[in-house]
Amino acid sequence: MEHLINPLVREIQISGIRKISNLVSTIPGALTLTIGQPDFPTPRHIIEAGQRALDQNKTVYTQNPGLLELREAVANFVHVKYGQTYRPADEIIVTAGASQAVDITLRTILTPGAEVIIPAPIYPGYEPLIRLAGGVPVYVDTRENGLKLTADLLEPYLTDKTRCVILCYPSNPTGQVLSEKELADLAQLLADRELFILSDEIYSELVYGQQHYSIATLGKLREKTIVINGLSKSHAMTGWRIGFTLAPAYLTEHMTKVHQYNVTCASSVSQYAALEALTVGVDDALPMRSAYEARRDYVYDRLVAMGIELEKPDGAFYLFPSIAKFGLSSMDFTMKLLQEEHVAVVPGDAFTSFGEGFIRISYAYSQEVLEESLNRLERFIGKLR
Residue 126: the pLDDT is 97
The pair phi, psi for residue 348, each rounded to 5°, is -60, -30
Determine how β-strand 92-95 pairs with β-strand 243-246. Answer: antiparallel
Q: How sure is the predictor about 14, in pLDDT bands with cuts at 50, 70 and 90? A: confident
State the pLDDT at residue 20.
Answer: 77
Compute the average pLDDT of residues 212-233: 97
Cβ atoms < 10 Å from Cβ of 238: 17
CATH topology of domain 2-42+285-384: Aspartate Aminotransferase, domain 1 (3.90.1150)
Q: What is the mean pLDDT of the chain?
A: 96
Return the minimum-mean-pLDDT range out of 20-34, 54-68, 118-132, 141-155.
20-34
Q: Is the dihedral of CA 23, 29, 366, 333 positive or negative?
A: negative
Tell me what the mean pLDDT of segment 86-92 comes to: 98
Contact call for residues 369 and 343 (beta carbons, < 8 A): no
- Residue pair 358/323 in contact by the 8 Å Cβ criterion: yes
Cα separation, 344 vs 197, in Å, equals 34
Calculate mean pLDDT across residues 323-342.
Answer: 96
Among 14, 46, 16, CA closest to 283: 46
8-12, 240-244, 294-298: least confidently modelled range: 8-12
Among the listed ranges 27-36, 102-111, 144-153, which one has the minimum average pLDDT value? 27-36
What CA–CA distance (Å, rounded) separates 164 from 109?
Answer: 8
133-156: average pLDDT = 98
One fold for 2-42+285-384 and 44-279: no
pLDDT at 7: 86
In 3D space, the residue among 157, 134, 175, 205 whose CA is nearest the CA of residue 166 turns out to be: 157
Check: CB of residue 132 under 8 Å from CB of residue 110. no
Domain locations in the chain?
Answer: 2-42+285-384, 44-279
Four-point Cα dihedral 189, 351, 170, 150, nearest 10 = -20
* pLDDT recorded at residue 25: 76
pLDDT (tens digit per residue) in 54-64: 999 999 999 99
Strand pairing of 115-120 and 318-319? Answer: unpaired
Instruction: Determine the Cα–Cα distance for residues 88 and 105; give it in Å rounded to an integer.
Output: 18
- Name the pLDDT band for 76 (thresholds 50, 70, 90): very high
SS3 of the chain: the string is: CHHHCCHHHHCCCCCHHHHHHHHHCCCCCCEECCCCCCCCCCCHHHHHHHHHHHHCCCCCCCCCCCCHHHHHHHHHHHHHHHCCCCCCCCCEEEECHHHHHHHHHHHHHCCCCCEEEEEECCCCCHHHHHHHCCCEEEEEECCCCCCCCCHHHHHHHCCCCEEEEEECCCCCCCCCCCCHHHHHHHHHHHCCCCCEEEEECCCCCCECCCCCCCHHHCCCHHHHEEEEEECCCCCCCHHHCCEEEECCHHHHHHHHHHHHHHHCCCCHHHHHHHHHHHHCCCCCHHHHHHHHHHHHHHHHHHHHHCCCCCCCCCECCEECCECHHHCCCHHHHHHHHHHHHCEECEECCECEHHHCCEEEEECCCCHHHHHHHHHHHHHHHHHHC
Please give the pLDDT value at position 2. Answer: 84
Sign of CA dihedral 49, 50, 55, 61: positive
Per-residue pLDDT, 100: 98
d(CA 125, CA 328): 26
Specify the fold of 44-279: Aspartate Aminotransferase; domain 2 (3.40.640)
User: What is the rounded average pLDDT of the residues 343-351?
Assistant: 96
Whether the predicted pLDDT of 27 surpasses 90: no
pLDDT digits (tens, 9 = 90+) for 245-292: 999 999 999 999 999 999 999 999 999 999 999 999 999 999 999 999
Q: How far apart are CA 313 and CA 311, in angstroms?
A: 6
Note the pLDDT of residue 244.
98
Q: How confident is the model at residue 241 (pLDDT cuts 50, 70, 90)?
A: very high
At 181, is the pLDDT very low, low, confident or very high (cuts 50, 70, 90)? Answer: very high
**What integer pLDDT is reported at residue 295 of this predicted model?**
98
Q: Which of 122, 146, 176, 161 is nearest to 318 (CA)?
A: 176
pLDDT for res 15: 72
Enter the pTM of the model. 0.95
Reply yes or no on whether the pLDDT at 174 is more than 90.
Answer: yes
- Percent of the chain residues past pLDDT 70, beyond the cut: 99
Q: Render pLDDT for 108-132 as a digit per residue (tens, 0 to 9).
A: 999 999 999 999 999 999 999 999 9
The pLDDT score that the predictor gives to residue 47 is: 98
In sequence order, what are the residues at sequence separation of 6 or more whose Cβ sits closer than 8 angstroms to the Cβ of residue 254? 108
What is the predicted pLDDT for the residue at 116?
A: 98
Amino acid code (one letter) for 258: V
